[in-house]
Structure 1
Amino acid sequence: MITCHVKYVIDPYQLPEFEAYCKAWIGVVRRLGGTHHGYFLPSEGASNIAYCLFSFPSLADYEAYRQNALSDPDSVALVASVMEKKFILSYERSFLRPVLS
Protein backbone atom coordinates (compact mmCIF):
# COMPACT_ATOMS: atom_id res chain seq x y z
CA MET A 1 0.00 0.00 0.00
CA ILE A 2 1.11 3.57 -0.73
CA THR A 3 -0.38 6.56 1.06
CA CYS A 4 -0.27 10.03 -0.42
CA HIS A 5 0.03 12.87 2.10
CA VAL A 6 -0.74 16.33 0.75
CA LYS A 7 0.03 19.54 2.61
CA TYR A 8 -1.93 22.53 1.29
CA VAL A 9 -1.36 26.22 1.78
CA ILE A 10 -4.83 27.66 1.36
CA ASP A 11 -6.48 31.07 1.32
CA PRO A 12 -8.06 31.14 4.80
CA TYR A 13 -10.70 33.57 3.55
CA GLN A 14 -11.96 30.95 1.12
CA LEU A 15 -12.23 28.05 3.57
CA PRO A 16 -15.84 27.18 2.55
CA GLU A 17 -14.73 26.82 -1.09
CA PHE A 18 -11.80 24.63 -0.08
CA GLU A 19 -14.04 22.46 2.11
CA ALA A 20 -16.49 21.90 -0.76
CA TYR A 21 -13.52 20.95 -2.98
CA CYS A 22 -12.34 18.47 -0.32
CA LYS A 23 -15.70 16.77 -0.02
CA ALA A 24 -15.92 16.38 -3.79
CA TRP A 25 -12.38 14.96 -4.14
CA ILE A 26 -13.09 12.28 -1.53
CA GLY A 27 -15.74 10.87 -3.86
CA VAL A 28 -13.48 11.10 -6.92
CA VAL A 29 -10.64 9.24 -5.19
CA ARG A 30 -12.99 6.49 -4.02
CA ARG A 31 -14.64 6.17 -7.42
CA LEU A 32 -11.23 5.90 -9.11
CA GLY A 33 -10.06 3.09 -6.82
CA GLY A 34 -8.47 4.74 -3.80
CA THR A 35 -9.20 4.79 -0.10
CA HIS A 36 -9.55 8.33 1.22
CA HIS A 37 -8.66 8.92 4.86
CA GLY A 38 -9.99 12.47 4.92
CA TYR A 39 -8.97 16.09 4.79
CA PHE A 40 -7.82 17.91 7.89
CA LEU A 41 -8.69 21.60 7.90
CA PRO A 42 -7.36 24.39 10.12
CA SER A 43 -8.84 24.56 13.60
CA GLU A 44 -6.23 25.94 16.00
CA GLY A 45 -2.85 27.33 15.06
CA ALA A 46 -2.09 28.20 11.45
CA SER A 47 -5.24 29.19 9.58
CA ASN A 48 -3.83 28.53 6.11
CA ILE A 49 -2.53 24.94 6.33
CA ALA A 50 -4.60 21.82 5.55
CA TYR A 51 -3.72 18.16 4.97
CA CYS A 52 -5.17 15.08 3.34
CA LEU A 53 -4.31 11.39 3.21
CA PHE A 54 -5.42 8.80 0.69
CA SER A 55 -4.11 5.37 -0.24
CA PHE A 56 -3.84 3.02 -3.19
CA PRO A 57 -2.77 -0.62 -3.19
CA SER A 58 0.45 0.28 -5.06
CA LEU A 59 2.30 3.16 -6.69
CA ALA A 60 1.22 1.77 -10.07
CA ASP A 61 -2.43 2.01 -8.96
CA TYR A 62 -1.84 5.60 -7.86
CA GLU A 63 -0.30 6.43 -11.26
CA ALA A 64 -3.33 4.86 -13.00
CA TYR A 65 -5.60 7.03 -10.82
CA ARG A 66 -3.64 10.14 -11.83
CA GLN A 67 -3.97 9.23 -15.51
CA ASN A 68 -7.70 8.48 -15.20
CA ALA A 69 -8.28 11.72 -13.28
CA LEU A 70 -7.04 13.71 -16.29
CA SER A 71 -10.15 12.74 -18.26
CA ASP A 72 -12.64 12.35 -15.41
CA PRO A 73 -15.27 15.13 -15.71
CA ASP A 74 -15.55 15.66 -11.94
CA SER A 75 -11.77 15.82 -11.51
CA VAL A 76 -11.38 18.23 -14.42
CA ALA A 77 -14.09 20.50 -12.99
CA LEU A 78 -12.47 20.51 -9.54
CA VAL A 79 -9.08 21.48 -10.96
CA ALA A 80 -10.75 24.23 -12.99
CA SER A 81 -12.41 25.58 -9.83
CA VAL A 82 -9.01 25.87 -8.12
CA MET A 83 -7.56 27.69 -11.11
CA GLU A 84 -10.51 30.08 -11.22
CA LYS A 85 -10.99 30.80 -7.50
CA LYS A 86 -7.38 30.33 -6.32
CA PHE A 87 -8.29 28.97 -2.88
CA ILE A 88 -5.24 26.67 -2.96
CA LEU A 89 -2.06 28.74 -3.01
CA SER A 90 0.38 25.81 -3.10
CA TYR A 91 0.68 22.17 -2.13
CA GLU A 92 3.30 19.49 -1.64
CA ARG A 93 2.81 15.78 -2.03
CA SER A 94 4.67 13.03 -0.14
CA PHE A 95 4.31 9.28 -0.40
CA LEU A 96 4.32 7.16 2.71
CA ARG A 97 4.31 3.48 3.51
CA PRO A 98 2.06 2.69 6.46
CA VAL A 99 3.13 0.37 9.24
CA LEU A 100 0.06 -1.50 10.44
CA SER A 101 -0.30 -4.05 13.21
Structure 2
Amino acid sequence: MSAPAFHAHFKAVTRTSPIQYIKSTRLHHARLMMVRDGLTAAAAAAAAAQVGYESPSQFSREFKRFFGRPPGEEVREMKSTLALLPPTQIAGLALPH
Protein backbone atom coordinates (compact mmCIF):
# COMPACT_ATOMS: atom_id res chain seq x y z
CA MET A 1 0.00 0.00 0.00
CA SER A 2 1.38 3.40 -0.88
CA ALA A 3 1.85 6.11 1.75
CA PRO A 4 -0.92 8.31 0.28
CA ALA A 5 -3.32 5.35 0.19
CA PHE A 6 -2.47 4.46 3.80
CA HIS A 7 -3.04 8.06 4.86
CA ALA A 8 -6.43 8.15 3.13
CA HIS A 9 -7.54 4.82 4.63
CA PHE A 10 -6.26 5.77 8.09
CA LYS A 11 -8.11 9.09 8.00
CA ALA A 12 -11.29 7.39 6.79
CA VAL A 13 -11.24 5.06 9.79
CA THR A 14 -9.97 7.39 12.54
CA ARG A 15 -11.10 10.77 11.18
CA THR A 16 -7.64 12.12 11.89
CA SER A 17 -4.23 12.03 10.27
CA PRO A 18 -1.64 9.49 11.44
CA ILE A 19 0.54 12.22 13.00
CA GLN A 20 -2.43 13.75 14.86
CA TYR A 21 -3.41 10.28 16.09
CA ILE A 22 0.12 9.72 17.41
CA LYS A 23 0.15 13.14 19.12
CA SER A 24 -3.24 12.44 20.69
CA THR A 25 -2.10 9.04 21.95
CA ARG A 26 1.12 10.48 23.39
CA LEU A 27 -0.66 13.35 25.13
CA HIS A 28 -3.35 11.08 26.62
CA HIS A 29 -0.68 8.68 27.85
CA ALA A 30 1.31 11.53 29.43
CA ARG A 31 -1.83 12.85 31.13
CA LEU A 32 -2.58 9.42 32.54
CA MET A 33 0.97 9.07 33.88
CA MET A 34 0.84 12.52 35.49
CA VAL A 35 -2.53 11.84 37.12
CA ARG A 36 -1.44 8.40 38.34
CA ASP A 37 2.02 9.43 39.54
CA GLY A 38 1.29 12.96 40.74
CA LEU A 39 2.26 16.11 38.90
CA THR A 40 5.41 17.99 39.68
CA ALA A 41 7.63 19.88 37.28
CA ALA A 42 9.90 16.83 37.19
CA ALA A 43 6.93 14.51 36.60
CA ALA A 44 5.72 16.61 33.68
CA ALA A 45 9.20 16.63 32.14
CA ALA A 46 9.54 12.88 32.72
CA ALA A 47 6.11 12.20 31.20
CA ALA A 48 7.01 14.35 28.20
CA ALA A 49 10.23 12.41 27.67
CA GLN A 50 8.56 9.03 28.16
CA VAL A 51 6.01 9.72 25.43
CA GLY A 52 8.58 10.98 22.96
CA TYR A 53 8.90 14.73 23.46
CA GLU A 54 12.47 16.00 23.57
CA SER A 55 11.43 19.51 24.59
CA PRO A 56 9.33 20.03 27.73
CA SER A 57 8.25 23.44 26.43
CA GLN A 58 7.00 21.92 23.16
CA PHE A 59 5.15 19.28 25.18
CA SER A 60 3.51 21.97 27.33
CA ARG A 61 2.46 23.98 24.28
CA GLU A 62 0.94 20.97 22.54
CA PHE A 63 -0.66 19.74 25.76
CA LYS A 64 -2.37 23.11 26.30
CA ARG A 65 -3.44 23.29 22.66
CA PHE A 66 -4.90 19.77 22.82
CA PHE A 67 -6.59 19.79 26.26
CA GLY A 68 -7.27 23.53 26.52
CA ARG A 69 -5.29 24.08 29.71
CA PRO A 70 -1.74 23.62 30.96
CA PRO A 71 -0.63 20.22 32.31
CA GLY A 72 -0.79 21.18 36.00
CA GLU A 73 -4.32 22.55 35.73
CA GLU A 74 -5.52 19.59 33.66
CA VAL A 75 -4.12 17.06 36.10
CA ARG A 76 -5.66 18.83 39.11
CA GLU A 77 -9.04 18.84 37.34
CA MET A 78 -8.71 15.18 36.35
CA LYS A 79 -7.81 14.17 39.91
CA SER A 80 -10.78 16.09 41.24
CA THR A 81 -13.13 14.59 38.63
CA LEU A 82 -11.85 11.06 39.12
CA ALA A 83 -11.62 11.18 42.91
CA LEU A 84 -13.05 8.06 44.44
CA LEU A 85 -14.72 7.65 47.78
CA PRO A 86 -12.85 5.54 50.29
CA PRO A 87 -14.02 1.90 50.09
CA THR A 88 -15.86 2.16 53.44
CA GLN A 89 -18.19 4.84 52.00
CA ILE A 90 -19.30 3.10 48.79
CA ALA A 91 -23.11 2.95 48.62
CA GLY A 92 -23.36 3.24 52.39
CA LEU A 93 -21.84 -0.18 52.92
CA ALA A 94 -19.47 -0.72 55.80
CA LEU A 95 -16.63 -2.85 54.51
CA PRO A 96 -14.34 -4.72 56.89
CA HIS A 97 -10.97 -3.09 57.52
Is this a same-fold pair by TM over 0.5? no
Query: TM-score with structure 2 length normalisation?
Result: 0.32
Pick the structure with greater CA Rg.
2
| Higher RCO (C-alpha 8 Å, min separation 6) | 1
Higher fraction of strand? 1
Higher fraction of helix? 2
Query: TM-score with structure 1 length normalisation?
Result: 0.31
